[in-house]
Amino acid sequence: MLDPWRSRYAARTDGMIASEVRALFAVAARPEVVSLAGGMPNVAALPLETVSAVMADLVLQQGTVALQYGSAQGVRSLRESICDVMALEGITAAPDDVVVTSGSQQALDLVARIFLDPGDTVVTEAPTYVTAINTFAAYQARIAHVPMDGDGVVPEALADAFARLHAQGRAPKLFYTVPTFQNPAGVTLSAARRHQVLEVCRRAGVLILEDNPYGLLRYDGEPVRALRADAARGHDVVYLGSFSKTFAAGLRVGWALAPAAVRDKLVLAAESAILSQSPFTQLAVDRYLRTEPWPDQIKVFREMYRERRDAMLDALTAHMPPGVTWTTPAGGFFVWATLPDGLDAKAMLPRATGARVAYVPGAGFFADGSGRTNMRLSFCYPPPERIREGVRRLGDVIAGEIALRETSASHVPRVTPGSLPAQNRRVRRR
């Protein structure tokens, strides 16, 4: 049917595109398919009877507050608890500077809303979180990518990008980064580089948007401090956090920690967007944090996800054909794999789902058309034996593609700018 309003949409609506990740979910959800696609936490590891009792008590004891409208900034006691959570990564913060949001996705949207005019530039890692790309696009912003290696974004490349953009009259508004267990690349910005990145941004006058949903899910190696923890001035970073991976994604509770003036604008923007985040889900998270042994739950998650990561890395070593490389995440949910030149992860996907394994092709994580040979492999959701089976199937599919390419006369190798380099020192080869 013709859309009678098609001439009436806002210009920004052109930038709203269906996420390839989301579009995959229908296929990936088929029970016979091993999904290495989604980034869903394994909430089955939660103590559901305990959570049930927390919810029940909340209604009985604070029902008239939990079921009523709340403030746009969020419930005060939760903001206090959030400060305790951030302290685990070295951040000193006041509850007044926290804005509770509907998942950290809403925090990302609100930051974009208050900072981005059409045509503005945001600098991001290459690759970067797919929905961040979509959100910046929805505000008609342009994205400039900066390459990473196994130690995260390269500070010199970041400084060069800022200088180049400044010379072009495109001084960037924000540097958006997922510094720890990055989505999708799985790499972590090293401690040494964190100070460099802070300094590069400070000198260029670029606000850092630090997105840290996975920081507490470290499986080995030394903890690193949040960028926000070491910002020389607290107002150089807007920090985004979330309970989606450390408690329950379905409650949609995230937050922004922002300099006071930015916080004020975020609160106004939040009020205009949703009036207030649900007091019920905020109080549920707060009650859970205050009454239950949450650090023990984090340990449960860590051990479970570590086992899954190990299963994936072992299976990759066992089953990937020569020429395939991948990152070795010390935490989080994702491994980033690179196929030999000439293969196309997106074109290969129907063959993979036919072989009952799904992944996310890399192109969606770039704004510039890169990522053709890349794929994101998630180890968060399927149990270890399914991960091993899925990687085995994927190895077969890739081997088949390589064989096909080698027998094809039409093969033309191509360069894939922006993808993590194969000489990455944290990348295993086989």
Q: Binding to its own copies (CB under 8 A): which residues in 277-316?
A: 277-281
Phi then psi dihedrals of residue 124, to 5 deg: -135, 165
Contacting residue, 20, 27, 65, 292, with its own copies by CB under 8 A: 65
Candidates 89, 97, 109, 286; binder of its own copies (CB under 8 A) is: 109
Residue 171 CB, shortest distance to its own copies, in Å, is 9
The minimum distance between CB 75 and its own copies, in angstroms, equals 10
Q: Which is nearer to its own copies, 103 or 150 (CB)?
A: 103
Q: Is 272 exposed, middle or buried (0-12, 13-18, 19+ CB in 10 A)?
A: exposed
Stretch that binds its own copies, among 253-261, 344-352, 354-362, 383-391 (CB under 8 A): 253-261
Tokens of 357: 């394994």
Give the footprint of its own copies on residues 110-139 (CB under 8 A): 113-117, 120, 131, 134-135, 138-139
Q: Which is nearer to its own copies, 150 or 279 (CB)?
A: 279
CB of 20 to its own copies, least distance (A): 12
Among residues 1 and 412, whose Cβ is nearest to its own copies? 1
Minimum Å gap between C-beta 53 and its own copies is 7
What residues from 73 to 102 belong to the interface with its own copies (CB under 8 A)?
Answer: 102
Paired strand residues for 160: none
Residue 399 sits in the site that holds its own copies (CB under 8 A): no
Please state, in angstroms and rounded to a whole number, the distance separating the CA atoms of residues 205 and 174. 9
C-alpha to C-alpha distance for 343 and 403, rounded to whole angstroms: 11
Task: Select from 31, 32, 64, 167 the one that contacts its own copies (CB under 8 A).
Answer: 64
142 binds its own copies (CB under 8 A): no
Name which of 9 and 408 has its Cβ closer to its own copies.
9
- Candidate residues 32, 169, 222, 261; the one interacting with its own copies per rule CB under 8 A: 261
| C-alpha–C-alpha distance, residues 161 and 155, integer Å | 10
Closest CA to 391 of 319, 336, 305: 319
Structure tokens at 221: 């190696």
CB nearer its own copies, residue 205 or residue 221: 205
Q: Give least dist CB 197 to its own copies, A.
A: 18
Residue (41 or 150) nearer to its own copies, CB: 41
Q: Are 216 and 226 in contact (CB under 8 A)?
A: no
Number of amino acids touching its own copies (CB under 8 A): 86
Render the burial of 160-197: b for 16+ CB within 10 Å, e for the rest.
ebbeebeeeebebbbbbbbbbbbbbbbbbbbeebbebb
- Residue 81 or 105: which CB sits closer to its own copies? 105
Which positions from 22 through 41 interact with its own copies, judged by CB under 8 A?
22, 40-41
Instruction: Give the pairing of strands 142-149 and 121-126.
Output: parallel
The least CB distance from residue 240 to its own copies, in Å, is 13
Nearer to its own copies, 348 or 358 (CB): 358
Site for its own copies in 167-226 (CB under 8 A): 173, 205, 207
**CB nearer to its own copies: pick between 286 and 401:** 286
* Piece in contact with its own copies (CB under 8 A), picked from 86-94, 180-188, 250-258, 361-369: 250-258
Applying CB under 8 A, among 23, 30, 56, 87 the residue interacting with its own copies is 56
Tell me if 331 contacts its own copies by CB under 8 A.
Answer: no
User: The dihedral of CA 295, 297, 301, 304: what is its sign?
Assistant: positive
Contact pick of 74, 95, 103, 418 for its own copies (by CB under 8 A): 103
Rounded least distance, CB 234 to its own copies, Å: 10
Q: Is the Cβ–Cβ distance between 126 and 148 less than 8 Å?
A: yes
Q: How far is the CB of 190 from its own copies (least distance, A)?
A: 27
d(CA 386, CA 116): 42
Q: Residue from 32, 49, 222, 406 that binds its own copies (CB under 8 A)? A: 49
Residue 241 and residue 254 in contact, taking contact as beta carbons nearer than 8 Å = yes
Residue 367, interface with its own copies (CB under 8 A)? no
In the set 36, 37, 72, 224, which binds its own copies (CB under 8 A)?
72
